[in-house]
């Protein structure tokens, strides 16, 4: 049986960690691509040498040549400049836009049947650019956003209640930035609405920490940004695609009338399977939630207006 082929573009912390989680889950053979000579080759060899201990049989290869990525089922775009303390995701726009356009064009040229997962910040705008540059159907291009944001919210709720992380489910909508919308009404602990378990003022603090979760890590690291949780979030999305699991995941998806928005990418719940985004799910929002969601969309459009 043919193993899936997964290319991760960018072998920095996020890309290499995504390759690690992908291999451990045995989701397919992995190609690490980078323009820096030796870096993807070295990291791929190091990771593959862990296979006898970790118990996976995936083949992992590093390369600087696009030809070796050909025929990939999934291509993950992590390449770009990472945030530094004091920077917002939006500060990365111009530099990362040029990188994403080039990567998306090459990814589509060598793997025209692939699903693209965009991780580069500012994520929603970069996902839009990747779809435009690649020419792939919008359903086959998505951004990571909500899977990472929701897992941060789940983490903070579990820590607050002193319960298993596994028992918390959560949903975060909107752009992958400071205006994201943690939906506390749709957050549960063991099937119980967290609004019944945590006081409103404390829930508000947890939601705010979720919005700035990435920035908190940037400030602590000083010289880099998060990569363990983003890598795990990427692997979860890859698994939904290559194993056709039809998972409902919050991802940056192309909106074509859903939530009253068109021609923009934003974080929404969607069914993810072998063909990419199979369906965007529209959920009921209160007037306040919808207002926050629209504000988040406007922030994405503002970035795009400087690029497109």
Instruction: Judge whether residue 207 has pLDDT over 90.
Output: yes
- Please state, rounded to an integer, the average pLDDT across all residues of the chain: 94
Determine the structural domain holding residue 171 and report its residue range: 146-305
pLDDT tens sequence across 137-148: 999 999 998 999
Is the domain of 132 the same as that of 169? no
User: Average pLDDT, stretch 160-168?
Assistant: 98
Say how far apart CA 19 and CA 22 lie, in whole Å: 5
Where does the pLDDT of residue 179 fall: very low under 50, low under 70, confident under 90, or very high at 90 and above? confident
Q: Looking at the DSSP assignment, which residues form a beta bridge with residue 254?
A: 265
DSSP 193: E
Is the domain of 79 the same as that of 19? yes
Is the domain of 171 the same as that of 135? no
The domain that holds 271 is classified in CATH as 3.90.110.10
pLDDT at 308: 61
The share of the chain scoring above pLDDT 70, in percent, equals: 96
The share of the chain scoring above pLDDT 90, in percent, equals: 87
SS (H, E, C) 23-43: HHCCCCEEEEECCCCCHHHHH
Is the domain of 158 the same as that of 293? yes
pLDDT tens sequence across 76-92: 999 887 656 666 555 67
Is the domain of 245 the same as that of 117? no
Hey, what are 264's tokens?
């923009």
Q: Among residues 242, 286, 280, 237, which one has the least CA distance to residue 261? A: 280
Is the domain of 158 the same as that of 301? yes
Say how far apart CA 137 and CA 204 lie, in whole Å: 38
pLDDT at 87: 61
Instruction: Judge whether residue 1 has pLDDT over 80.
Output: no
pLDDT at 217: 94
Where does the pLDDT of residue 177 fall: very low under 50, low under 70, confident under 90, or very high at 90 and above? confident
Is the domain of 199 the same as that of 293? yes
Total count of domains within the chain: 2
Residue with more model confidence, 95 or 156: 156
Instruction: Judge whether residue 13 has pLDDT over 70.
Output: yes
Is the domain of 40 the same as that of 103? yes
pLDDT at 95: 83
Predicted TM-score (pTM) of this structure:
0.94
pLDDT at 223: 85
Instruction: Judge whether residue 2 has pLDDT over 80.
Output: no
Is the domain of 9 the same as that of 135? yes
Q: Among residues 265, 299, 290, which one has the least CA distance to residue 280? A: 265
Contact predicate 244/268, CB 8 Å? no
Instruction: Judge whether residue 73 has pLDDT over 90.
Output: yes
**Where a domain ends, among 109, 143, 177?**
143
Is the domain of 301 the same as that of 160? yes
Q: List all residues 6 or more positions away from 295 whose beta carbon is below 8 Å from its beta carbon.
A: 179
pLDDT at 307: 82
Is the domain of 235 the same as that of 205? yes
**Where a domain ends, among 93, 120, 143?**
143
Instruction: Judge whether residue 165 has pLDDT over 80.
Output: yes
The domain that holds 95 is classified in CATH as 3.40.50.720
Residue with more model confidence, 95 or 150: 150
Strand 247-256 and strand 192-193: pairing?
unpaired
For 63, 66, 128, 268, 283, the CA distances from 238, given in Å and listed in that order, are: 20, 20, 19, 17, 24
Catalytic sites, residue numbers? 176
**Where a domain ends, among 127, 143, 159?**
143
pLDDT at 116: 98
Is the domain of 154 the same as that of 284? yes
For 14, 54, 98, the CA distances from 105, given in Å and listed in that order, are: 21, 35, 11
pLDDT at 82: 66
């Amino acid at each position: 049986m043919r193993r899936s082929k997964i290319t991760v573009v960018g072998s920095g912390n996020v890309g290499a960690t995504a390759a690690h989680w992908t291999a451990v889950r045995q989701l397919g053979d992995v190609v690490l691509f980078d323009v820096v000579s030796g870096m993807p080759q070295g990291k791929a060899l190091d990771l593959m040498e862990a296979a006898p201990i970790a118990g996976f049989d995936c083949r992992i290869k590093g390369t600087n040549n696009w030809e070796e990525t050909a025929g990939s089922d999934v291509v993950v775009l992590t390449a770009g400049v990472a945030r530094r303390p004091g920077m917002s995701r939006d500060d990365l726009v111009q530099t990362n836009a040029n990188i994403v356009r080039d990567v998306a064009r090459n990814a589509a040229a060598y793997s025209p049947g692939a699903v693209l997962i965009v991780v580069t910040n500012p994520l929603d705008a970069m996902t839009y650019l990747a779809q435009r540059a690649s020419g792939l159907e919008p359903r086959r291009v998505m951004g990571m956003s909500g899977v990472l944001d929701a897992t941060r919210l789940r983490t903070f709720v579990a820590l607050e209640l002193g319960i298993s992380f596994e028992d918390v489910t959560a949903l975060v909508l909107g752009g992958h930035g400071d205006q994201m919308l943690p939906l506390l009404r749709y957050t549960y602990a063991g099937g119980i609405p967290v609004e019944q378990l945590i006081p409103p003022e404390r829930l508000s603090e947890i939601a705010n920490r979720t919005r700035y979760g990435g920035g908190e890590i940037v400030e602590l690291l000083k010289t880099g940004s998060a990569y363990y949780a983003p890598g795990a979030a990427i692997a979860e999305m890859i698994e939904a695609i290559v194993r056709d699991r039809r998972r409902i995941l919050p991802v940056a998806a192309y909106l074509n009338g859903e939530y009253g928005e068109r021609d923009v990418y934003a974080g929404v719940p969607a069914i993810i399977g072998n063909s990419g985004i199979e369906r965007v799910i529209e959920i009921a929002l209160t007037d306040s939630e919808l207002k926050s969601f629209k504000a988040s969309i406007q922030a994405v459009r503002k970035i795009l207006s400087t690029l497109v």
